[in-house]
Structure 1
Amino acid sequence: MGNNRILTINSVQNEKVKTYASLLEKKHRDRSGKFLIEGVHLVQEALMAAAAVETVVFDAERGMPSELEHLIADSGCELVEASPQVMAKCTATDTPPPVFGVVAKKDVDSGTLYGASSLVVVLDGVRDPGNVGTIIRSADAVGADAVVLGKGCVDLYNPKTVRSTMGSLFHLPVMEGDLAQLLPAAKEHGIRLAGTSLQAEDTCYSYDWRGATWLLLGNESSGLSEETLAQVDDRIIIPMHGRSESLNVAMAATVVLYEALRQRRYSF
């Protein structure tokens, strides 16, 4: 593993361990500006994306996963081998992973949101970590410019949210922001705000996604807040031809984003 010096920690009472474990709680993530990533895949994605990985901790009994060795050697991050008890204390899964990392949060420049052809996904009160993670993955898959989490959304750096992004968190700008400020600013830049609504004039297929557009998606049960709806320029609906009442918000996001991708890249 190159020139990385390896620190060994066996006790769950170690101060470093207490610091790592504290990042399972939002208040400590907010205070420190750091969060945890768990498992080989996430650590691999973070290192390959040159994220600010400060520390990588691996299970001393299982050893450093071979997939990470060359990435670790080039990273210069702190390396810690830890007992299984330490691994269990610092991670949020029932079965502790063989490795976890401590990563500094990345500041996202809100200027990246206002491009001339930007496609941005904006979440308003989406509370389920799995939904938020899946939406970030779908936004990544279609090449969207950014994802914004407004107030009332689950914490972006909640371990469940981070895990469910499957590494897409490191592939595109994802930020938490105040929609009361960001949405009017988008309109000033000539960006259309399109929100899903049952009282819509357009389907997601008849709507023109080729210009600068932000897709607004609301809470799983109550939809977009009144304040956000008041900012929406265009309301769209996903047509339903079977007997299902609605789609999960992450599925709905994926359907709409792929139609936007089709229009932008594949309309002949």
Structure 2
Amino acid sequence: MPNLEPALASLSNPRVKGWAKLSERKYRQREGRFKLEGIHLVAEALAAGWPLECVVFDEGLGIPEELIGYADRADVVDAGATLPAWIPASPDIIAKCSETETPQPVFAVALRKQAEPEWLFRQDGGPVVLLDGVQDPGNVGTIVRSAAASGAAAVVLGRGTADLYNAKTLRSTMGALFYIPVLEAELPSLLSEAKERGIPLFGTSLRASESCYDCDLSGSPWLLMGNEGSGLSPDVMEFVDRPIIIPMTGRTESLNVAMAATALLFEAQRQRLAQSN
């Protein structure tokens, strides 16, 4: 049976006010929590065993059919974690806590998980993608999704990059953030350590002459992706060992940063698979 709590109906309830505040980045950072809106994201979090504080659903509609199986299971969270509370609430409360014009009938409050930086320096986990000032939430979410899909080791969000826990970023990940480590870090200090450890550092540049298809991406390289308009910042670019370009035989000036990252990630996957066969 689910850990079912009494229904909430008052917009002035302190818990409701706290959930609504999680729409702001400063509160998410301070509280170490974030919201997941919609059946798909909540189901993905439950399937992955991500720690959830609670799942709030429209009391008139009940627990969505897609989530009922998770509500009855005791193994949907990491070992030692507390089972989430399942809380019926009025549509007004759902709307107050939603960041979309047409609120979905369920949201969850999730706990942030910070992966250990040492994870980045493994030499057997595939590429690491580092984002330097990638500001569009949709781009960040898509890159996280592509990284998870292509077997990358991790994603690092540098200064000026969109917040992973922004509602738009979360929607763009389509739940992929539950399956790949994502860290926030100051890139220059991290890249300095990577150089000392001999990790190859590749950065995309329209001025580069070396094709990504001529590079060995089969191991655990670090792939640096820059801002949508200005590319990699000078203090990050100075660490790049090999500037590379994605060849384009058609007529267009450049690729969107999420498309470029996806192309590199799947080329790295192709090379790894070719070596294993």
TM class by shorter-chain length?
over 0.9
- 1:181 maps to what in 2? 189
Which amino acid counterpart does residue 102 of structure 1 have in structure 2? V
Which amino acid counterpart does residue 77 of structure 1 have in structure 2? P
CA offsets 1:48-96 (integer angstroms, 9 cap, x no match): 1111111100011221111111212224211111111111110111110
- 1:247 maps to what in 2? 255
Q: Cα gap change, 1:200/1:3 in structure 2, threshold over 3 Å: closer, same or farther? A: closer
Kept in 1, the 8 Å contact 2:127–2:223? The answer is yes
Alignment of 1:1-268 (within 5 A): 2-73=1-72, 74=74, 75=76, 76-117=83-124, 118-266=126-274
Kept in 2, the 8 Å contact 1:156–1:176? The answer is no
TM-score by length of 2: 0.94
Distance (Å, rounded) in 2 between the aligned partners of 1:52 and 1:228: 34
Kept in 1, the 8 Å contact 2:35–2:108? The answer is yes
SS of equivalent residue, structure 1 residue 12? coil
Distance (Å, rounded) in 2 between the aligned partners of 1:33 and 1:15: 17
Kept in 1, the 8 Å contact 2:2–2:71? The answer is no
Distance (Å, rounded) in 2 between the aligned partners of 1:37 and 1:181: 32
Distance (Å, rounded) in 2 between the aligned partners of 1:62 and 1:127: 37
Distance (Å, rounded) in 2 between the aligned partners of 1:196 and 1:67: 41
Which amino acid counterpart does residue 46 of structure 1 have in structure 2? A
Distance (Å, rounded) in 2 between the aligned partners of 1:189 and 1:70: 46
Which amino acid counterpart does residue 231 of structure 1 have in structure 2? F
Kept in 1, the 8 Å contact 2:128–2:155? The answer is yes
SS of equivalent residue, structure 1 residue 205? helix
Aligned-pair Cα RMSD in Å: 1.2
Distance (Å, rounded) in 1 between the aligned partners of 2:47 and 2:2: 19
The offset of 1:242, in angstroms, is 1.4
Kept in 2, the 8 Å contact 1:7–1:79? The answer is no
Which amino acid counterpart does residue 64 of structure 1 have in structure 2? I
SS of equivalent residue, structure 1 residue 8? coil
SS of equivalent residue, structure 1 residue 95? coil
Kept in 2, the 8 Å contact 1:193–1:216? The answer is yes
Once the two structures are overlaid, the 10-residue window that deviates more, 23-32 or 112-121, is 112-121
Which amino acid counterpart does residue 193 of structure 2 have in structure 1? A
Aligned residues: 267
SS of equivalent residue, structure 2 residue 213? coil
The offset of 1:203, in angstroms, is 0.8
Note the residue ranges of structure 1 that are not aligned, 5 or more in a row: none
Which amino acid counterpart does residue 179 of structure 1 have in structure 2? L
The offset of 1:3, in angstroms, is 4.4
Which amino acid counterpart does residue 5 of structure 2 have in structure 1? I
SS of equivalent residue, structure 2 residue 218? coil
Kept in 2, the 8 Å contact 1:122–1:147? The answer is yes
Kept in 1, the 8 Å contact 2:2–2:86? The answer is no
Percentage identity across paired residues of the two chains: 53
Q: Cα gap change, 1:3/1:88 in structure 2, threshold over 3 Å: closer, same or farther? A: closer
Q: Cα gap change, 1:77/1:238 in structure 2, threshold over 3 Å: closer, same or farther? A: same
CA offsets 1:170-205 (integer angstroms, 9 cap, x no match): 001011111022111112222111000112131111
SS of equivalent residue, structure 1 residue 5? coil
